[in-house]
Amino acid sequence: MLKNASVTADHSYSQLTLRKNKALTTEPKIDLTCPYCNASIYATISWFKKDYSTCPACDQGLAAGQFAAVISDLEQAMDASVEEMIYGAPQTSCCGKDSCCHQSTSD
């Protein structure tokens, strides 16, 4: 019986986690740079949100606040991308054409 299992999907760059009596969740991984040694850190968003962690390359302490602005921007971009996938790209006019018969063309 599996109590915890993790699988990393090669093509989607996300981590799938299966826990007993819990739903299957997908958490994207991102690549950010350590502010001390400039090494690339490839981890899940929740790893960067932890109160405290250390860089795998230089062992310097990292606080969640150091990545907060970047994480916020990435989450907003991902949310916008999901909305666009669900609802389609925002339309430029009421009927989706570049020009519309319902809009005034006079200056």
Distances (CA, A) of 63 to 8, 37, 49, 58: 25, 15, 8, 14
Query: Each residue of 17-65: pLDDT tens digit?
Result: 455 555 555 788 899 999 999 999 999 999 999 999 999 999 999 998 9
Please check whether residue 27 lies inside any domain of the structure. yes
Please check whether residue 67 lies inside any domain of the structure. yes
Total domains, the chain:
1
Please check whether residue 14 lies inside any domain of the structure. yes
Please check whether residue 103 lies inside any domain of the structure. no
Choose between 33 and 91: higher pLDDT: 33
Domain extent, residue 29, equals 4-87
